[in-house]
Amino acid sequence: MTAAAQVVKPVSLELGGKSPLLVFEDVDLDKAAEWAAFGCFWTNGQICSATSRLIVHESIAAEFLDRLVKWVKNIKISDPLEEGCRLGPVVSGSQYEKVLEFVATAKREGATILCGGARPEIEQHIYTDKFYGLGGAVISQDLERCERVSKAIQAGIVWINCSQPCFTQAPWGGNKRSGFGRELGEWGLNNYLSVKQVTQYISDEPWGWYNCPSKL
């Protein structure tokens, strides 16, 4: 942005976020848990809009977390070329170490690890963020509540009763530190266009703003 500002060059930025998923008490727990898992672990969680915060109604929180752990433990982790693989390796050893450090930081700050969190010995089976606003999701059977909450989430993308589906015809981008401008759809093309005003005067009469000297 600094380099672009020096030459007044327009930029479109999509910078990631801390996307929440809100789960209300009237949900189908399995559907909600599957979408939560997909939101977290699709593309190994290495996606700008990945679900990174779960906000669950307190009346179902314990049961939902138990169900979510079961879904996560059921994810097939293997070679990406293997049939049925749903979670492969991260891109490098250094990235793996970075992930472990994130886990360690979470533990130091009081997080409880419900599943995984360390290298396996044999096999490894509040919703508006102050700084970021890329994506968010809400799950509830009450569509009026979903609409109300989706309007309140300050993000460029909101999913209702799902998480992470994206389509080339729909705009993609965020607010706040998650960037500005949009990719995809006609909105993405707008980043490469500039608006021009062209005015043509078609009257035979003079503009008439000033008194014509010949008529004084």
- Helix or strand holding residue 149 (H, E): helix 143-152
User: 3-state DSSP helix/strand/coil percent for the chain, to nearest 5?
Assistant: 30, 15, 55
β-sheet bridge partners, residue 85: none
Location of structure tokens 């138990």: 66
Cβ pair 172, 182 in contact under 8 A:
yes
Query: Is it true that domain 17-168 has CATH number 3.40.309.10?
Result: yes
Residue ranges in the chain assigned as alpha helix (H): 2-6, 29-41, 61-73, 93-108, 143-152, 185-190
Location of structure tokens 């593309």: 43
Catalytic residue among 14, 34, 58, 82: 14
Cβ pair 103, 93 in contact under 8 A:
no
Alpha-carbon distance of 27 to 80, in angstroms, equals 32
Amino acid at 94: S
**Per-residue model confidence as pLDDT tens for the chain (216 residues):** 888 888 888 888 878 888 999 999 999 999 999 999 999 998 888 888 899 899 999 999 999 999 999 999 999 888 888 898 998 888 888 888 898 999 999 999 999 999 888 765 534 335 666 788 899 999 999 888 899 889 888 899 999 999 999 999 999 999 888 888 899 999 999 888 888 999 998 998 888 887 777 776
Cβ pair 12, 191 in contact under 8 A:
yes
Asked if 97 is an active-site residue, the reply is no
